[in-house]
Structures are given as C-alpha cells and as structure tokens.
C-alpha cells in the first residue's frame, strides 16, 4: 500500500494497484479554460527528469459540467497506469486537484531544481473531493510589522498548497499605513514609518525606525499572483479606530486636530477618526475608491473594533451629528459611521466585513461579521433574526500569535467553527474559518513561520475536510509527510513536540474567558 499523506484530507479516496510514471515532459492536455492551470502544473513538474513517454500517457485537465455534486471548488482526480485526469466544474476545482496531485509527488520537487535522473511515479488513486466551507482564510497583519512582497508571495504559495482561498490583508494600523494612496501621499510619506517598536515596558521602544509600504504596482502584482492561485485578497482598511498613522498624516481627520505621531507602542489609543466631519467620509471614500481599483474582491474589511468613544463625547462635530440625526449616543454614532461606509461600498458592488463590535442594533443586514470574542448567543441571534453571515476567528482558539502552549496543534485541529445550536439552514451563514496572525511580536519570516505552522495546516483541514472524518491521531500521521514538504520549502515551523500549557497560560485563558465583551482583551 503506497504512503499517501494528503492534507487537507480528501472527502473520498480509493487506492488501486499500479503507478503512473510522471516526468517533466509528460503532455498536459487541457481545454481553453485551464491554460493557466496547465502552465502552473508544467512549472510544478519541471524539476522532474525527462523520460521516454508512451504516446498514450498524458495529464488531462478538463471542465466537466454534468456532475454538479462536488460544487464549484470540488474536483475528481483519477490516476491510472495510462493517464492522470482531473475534472471539475470550475478552474478553481482543477487547481485544487493539482494541489492534491502535488502532494502525491516527492517532496524534493518543491526545491524547484532538477531532480536526480531516475523514474518517478505516482500511485493509482481515485479521489472525489470538495470543501466544507467557502471561506478558508488566513489573515496577516502588516500594520504592526511590514514584512514585504516576497513574504506575501510565499504566503500565497503556501496557502495554495493547503487549499486556502482567502488572504485577509491587514494594511493600516496605529503603527503603520502600508498601502499607497495617490490622492493622499502623506499616508505613506509620514504614516508608513515609526520611530521605533515598543518593548514589553509601557511607553518605551527600541529606537530602531521601522517602515515600509506597498506601491499600487506591487499590489496589482500580488493580486494577480493570488488570482492565478485562486486566492481572493480581502483588504482591511481600519476605521474608525486604530487610525493613528492616518491621523499623523492628516490631523484634520481627528476630533482634536492633533498633532499626532505614528504609534510606537501597541494597544488601544483614544484618538480615532471624527464621525462628525463630512471631510472624514470624503477622505475615506477617496481612499476606498483607490482600494477598489486595486482589489477586485467583493469584500472590503473596515475593522470597526476597539474604537474608544472618549474623543467623540467631547467633539462638537460628533455631538452635532448625534443631535441632528437623532442618535441616542456615541455607540449609535458608530453604527451611523459603519452604515454610511457600507452604503457607499454597496453602491460600488462591494460588501463590508467588520469585527463583531460592529454588530450593534441598526447595523445593515448585508454586513458580514468576523467573530473573534464575546457571547456567541448574540451571534446566533444575529444569524437567526437577520440572516447575518459570519466568519469565525475565535480569539482563544484561532489566533496564531498566541503561544503554542496556549493554543496547541491539537487545540487548533479540534476547534469547531460551527455551532451545534444552529439548524442546517442557519449554519449556511457560517461562511468559514480564518485564523489571524497579528504581528506585534512577529518582526520577520522566521517568527512568522514558527507562529503559523503547523497550526495553520490544522485549521486548513478543518476548513476543507468533513467534520465526521476528522481524527487528530490520523492527522498527525499524515502531517509527518506534509512537514517533509515544508522542510524542503524552508518553512521554519514549530516543533511537533507536545507543549503543556504553563500555569500562566492556563491562568490567562481562564481570565480571558471571564472578560465581558465590553471590556475585552486586545484583539491585536
């Protein structure tokens, strides 16, 4: 029996006797729709040696529309001694079939360099596969630490390997603005650089300047790269809170007029966008207009969390807005703020996502909530009463910046994003799962790898594979083969040793569970 270690676990796999000889010069026969997938597969196979190929041997990539049971992202892969055939309803399905084929090939293929001249084969199998969730995400915060284009492209490649399909890109923060906006050049000239990075001691920083941003040309390149890998990039532009970098650049957007500096330390800051000034909305619409031209994503994330109301309470413009619009208080003012942005984006054909603090009475029903902390009863009520769509990113279970002692690999694998209280129809509003990586203490690739892997791999399996077929011990066995592939890809993942939570980790988890939603621990 061949050693087959595929992650995420396919829905159905049948192993047959025999093998198919695979080589770099194997013909790839495809329909017109799959030309890009064929180029991708050709490049993937290029390190293999050339072999004498029989005229009947080939790889076939074809759209087949008769069988719709596997859905838009499912695929059927069949390997016989004579051919490899991947069929699907869409090019995305074909691409995921290629990722499964990739894991049947030797890990050393990932070096991208010519392999030794010997025969390579893949086992004869038949796989019918499809994802459990439509939203299989990973969030990277580059507001706290700018990591750069090469790391983002590498991240997209690793996501593709694991059949993840949404890259949530956190691009603006108190500590840095990372996207070029041509109408407002000070956002990158001033807002993308800070004097240093905070230490564990409040008010202190290391004195080492940190900065960087993406030009619009770079973002277009990254978006195209992601599109070729069937990954949607959902950008996040923070509002109304976590906006010090923007306020340092354009102080008139605030309640007090400043001056401000780009934050060097981490936390929640009182100065946020003024919700009473029309100039604030003009600025945000201009910014979002350029964002829309860069990102074809139907979803735009506007954050909406951790927005202190102290400045709004004393701001004449905000108080005037509350009075003139008949709002009850500053919390209703934030609903007004959020709905105004949602309405503007809806006219552009886009849909807003926000962290679950936006989930207040009066919020437009088309807003998607990203659930990270708080009572799930409120979330269930929103699903039942308003048909609210939800992305699950539970703080204590999915945050990759947490230590492995606090959230172990087993914890990650056994996390369940659905709620048993929901009916099957109600559960359809759970779009999927998205583990975030906040980067206060993630300055570069090595730390990013350590925090992310292999826990992201465990979440990827939950997002794709059936709930009934999950088994952690069996996953660990398959993970051994997957980690050999990560070794070749030079991913500096955390060791597989089991880490028991320390006393302080257990205490932290107990304390955080007990915090009410109105006084949460920092999301970031």
Residue 12 burial (CB count, 10 A): 12
The pLDDT of residue 519? 31
Structure confidence by residue, pLDDT tens digits, 20-59: 999 999 999 999 999 999 999 999 999 999 988 888 899 9
The pLDDT of residue 501? 53
The pLDDT of residue 55? 81
Residue 255 burial (10 A CB sphere; 0-12, 13-18, 19+): buried
The pLDDT of residue 335? 98
Return the half-sphere exposure (C-beta side, CA atoms, 13 A cut-off) of residue 280: 25
Of 213, 150, 141, 151, nearest in space to 177 by CA: 213
The span from the CA of 360 to the CA of 378, in Å, is 10
Alpha helix locations (H) across 453-524?
455-464, 472-488, 503-514
Residue 456 phi/psi, 5-degree rounding, is: -60, -35
Instruction: Give me the residues of the chain with pLDDT under 70, please.
Output: 1-2, 201-202, 496-524
Of 278, 335, 345, nearest in space to 309 by CA: 335
Which helix or strand (DSSP H or E) is residue 85 part of?
strand 83-88
The span from the CA of 429 to the CA of 388, in Å, is 7
Q: What tokens does 420 get?
A: 């048993």
User: Is-cis flag, bond preceding 513, omega within 30?
Assistant: no
Dihedral (C-alpha) 473, 475, 480, 486: value to the nearest 10 degrees?
-150
The span from the CA of 491 to the CA of 58, in Å, is 32
The span from the CA of 407 to the CA of 184, in Å, is 41
The span from the CA of 115 to the CA of 83, in Å, is 22
The pLDDT of residue 201? 63
The pLDDT of residue 516? 35
Identify whether the C-beta of residue 188 lies closer than 8 Å to the C-beta of residue 143: no
pTM of the model: 0.95
The span from the CA of 29 to the CA of 58, in Å, is 7
């Amino acid at each position: 029996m061949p050693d087959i270690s595929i992650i995420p676990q396919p829905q159905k796999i049948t192993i047959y006797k025999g093998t198919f000889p695979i080589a770099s010069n194997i013909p790839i026969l495809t329909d017109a729709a799959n030309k890009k997938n064929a180029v991708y597969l050709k490049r993937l196979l290029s390190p293999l040696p050339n072999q004498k190929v029989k005229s009947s041997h080939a790889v076939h990539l074809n759209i087949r529309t008769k069988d719709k049971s596997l859905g838009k992202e499912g695929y059927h892969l069949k390997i016989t001694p004579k051919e490899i055939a991947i069929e699907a309803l869409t090019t995305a399905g074909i691409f995921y079939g290629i990722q499964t084929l990739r894991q049947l090939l030797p890990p050393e293929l990932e070096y991208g360099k010519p392999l030794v001249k010997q025969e390579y084969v893949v086992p004869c199998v038949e796989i019918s596969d499809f994802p459990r969730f439509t939203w299989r995400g990973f969030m990277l915060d580059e507001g706290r630490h700018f990591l750069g284009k090469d790391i983002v492209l590498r991240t997209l490649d690793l996501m593709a390997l694991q059949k993840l399909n949404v890259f949530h890109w956190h691009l603006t923060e108190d500590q840095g603005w990372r996207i070029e906006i041509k109408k407002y050049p000070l956002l990158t000239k001033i807002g993308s650089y800070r004097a240093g990075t905070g230490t564990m001691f409040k008010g202190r920083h290391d004195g080492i300047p940190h900065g960087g941003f993406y030009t619009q040309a770079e973002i277009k390149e990254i978006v195209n790269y992601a599109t070729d890998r069937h990954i949607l990039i959902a950008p996040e532009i923070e509002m109304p809170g976590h906006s010090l970098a923007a306020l340092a650049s354009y102080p008139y957007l605030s309640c007090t007029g400043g001056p401000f500096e780009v934050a060097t330390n981490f936390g929640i800051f009182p100065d946020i966008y003024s919700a009473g000034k029309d100039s604030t909305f003009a600025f945000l619409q201009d910014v979002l207009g350029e964002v829309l031209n860069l990102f074809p994503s139907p979803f735009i994330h506007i954050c909406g969390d951790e927005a202190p109301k102290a400045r709004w309470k004393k701001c004449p413009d905000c108080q005037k807005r509350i009075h003139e619009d008949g709002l009850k208080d500053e919390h209703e003012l934030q609903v007004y703020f959020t709905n105004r942005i949602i309405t503007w984006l809806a006219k552009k054909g886009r849909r807003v996502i926000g962290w679950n603090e936006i989930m207040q009475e009066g919020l437009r029903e088309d807003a998607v909530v990203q659930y990270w902390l708080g009572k799930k009863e409120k979330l269930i009520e929103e699903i039942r009463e308003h048909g609210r769509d939800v992305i699950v990113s539970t703080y204590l279970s999915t945050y990759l910046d947490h230590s492995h002692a606090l959230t172990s690999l087993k914890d990650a694998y056994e996390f369940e994003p659905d709620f048993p209280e929901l009916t099957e129809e109600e559960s359809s509003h759970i779009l999927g799962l998205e583990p975030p990586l906040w980067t206060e203490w993630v300055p570069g690739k090595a730390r990013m790898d350590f925090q992310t892997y292999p826990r992201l791999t465990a979440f990827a399996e939950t997002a794709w594979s059936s709930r009934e077929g999950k088994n952690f011990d069996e996953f660990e066995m398959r993970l051994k083969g997957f980690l050999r592939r990560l070794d070749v890809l030079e991913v500096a993942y955390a060791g597989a040793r089991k880490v028991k939570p320390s006393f302080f980790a257990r205490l932290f988890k107990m304390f955080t569970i007990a915090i009410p939603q109105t006084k949460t621990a920092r999301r970031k």
